[in-house]
Amino acid sequence: MSASILVTGGAGYIGSHTCIELLESGYQVIVIDNLSNSSEIALERVSELTGKSLHFYLGDVRDRPLLAKILKEHKIDAVIHFAGLKAVGESCQMPLAYYDNNLNSTLALCQEMELAGVKNLVFSSSATVYGAPEKLPLTEDMPLSATNPYGRSKLIIEEMLRDLPEADKLTQAEVPWAVILLRYFNPVGSHKSGRIGEDPKDIPNNLMPFISQVAVGRREKLSVFGNDYDTVDGSGVRDYIHVVDLAKGHVCAVDNLVGETPVQGVEAVNLGSGTGTSVIQLVNAFSSENDVAVPYQIVGRRPGDVAACYADANKAFTLFGWRTELSIRDMVKDTWNWQKSNPEGYPES
């Protein structure tokens, strides 16, 4: 019998792509999602693409009785925790909502996991925990800080999770916690089929869906936040990673946790390409590869942003043999394939 994996926030952008990779790797997949920024249709298409079924529960991760039911009935072996609010700019405007959602959902999840004796966890962290980096590329042992409430919520959760194996030592727990903190950079792209992709419910907070919505005519033009950073062209530089590569990284982490020699305690692992690309470079790549216009305007810097951020991803390769395989060209072409096939995103379910 294959291992059963609970995916919180599994109907979302990264979650749905990860469900595909899990199913194709032979795992049983159980999803809980409140659909606040996702669509159940994404999960229907996951089953369609893989020819395999998954279990879906409509609910909030803060619903402890529902979590207890899922963990017990499905004999969960490991959890991938995606569920959470995720926009930097929005977090600066509504920090309490971010702390309530992201911290309390993780507390509820870990408490119910511990009661159920399930202690294998892959946490969806973020490169934002590095704050404003003093040097690049970013390695996992660098000092941590946060420049916005979203990043701070991720950093607090990382610290919470680091306390769990320490408690195991004090209590001599029979089943120890094994936690992998995946600090990923800027996920973009979509499944090559064009059937699932990034579909924000409101105005996109992330760059690539905004670019693609401008290209398809849903938005008039893109706002580039700042052209006076100390970068190649003045716009912000980020480490973009294809969402399929990212999803495969989560499967590698799960393989480790349910394998014969799982990590001990907590391991933080970067998932990135190791290469920085500026906002304007990404816009130009999208336009040239897809032969579509993406008008943009330069506006002021956005609160909480840093000039440049890209990863050293060697640890991921050393620990579980993962590295990126897909290029910026793949990212922009796959994004456009999704957007032009689904100009309004997912239909209303």
Q: Return d(Cα 82, Cα 8) in angstroms, integer.
A: 5
Catalytic residue among 13, 98, 130, 150: 150
Helix locations, the chain, DSSP H: 13-24, 40-50, 64-73, 88-93, 95-116, 149-171, 207-216, 243-258, 279-290, 314-320, 328-341
Per the listing, tokens 């995720």 go with: 86
CA distance 338 to 192: 8
Q: How far, CA to CA in Å, does 318 sit from each of 177, 250, 258?
A: 21, 15, 18
Residues counted in the chain: 349
Lookup: tokens for 66: 């529902």
Distance CA 239, CA 279 (A): 10
DSSP codes of every residue in 180-192: EEEEE-EEE---T
Q: Name the residue type at position 324.
A: T
Angle between helices 279-290 and 207-216 (to 10 degrees): 40
Q: What angle do CA 146, 152, 155 make, to 5 degrees?
A: 95
Q: Catalytic residue at 150?
A: yes
Of 215, 272, 199, 285, give the one whose Cα is nearest residue 11.
199
Provide the token pair at 27: 């795992």
Structural contact between residues 40 and 56, judged by C-beta atoms closer than 8 angstroms = yes
Tokens of 41: 């249709």
Catalytic residues, which ones?
150
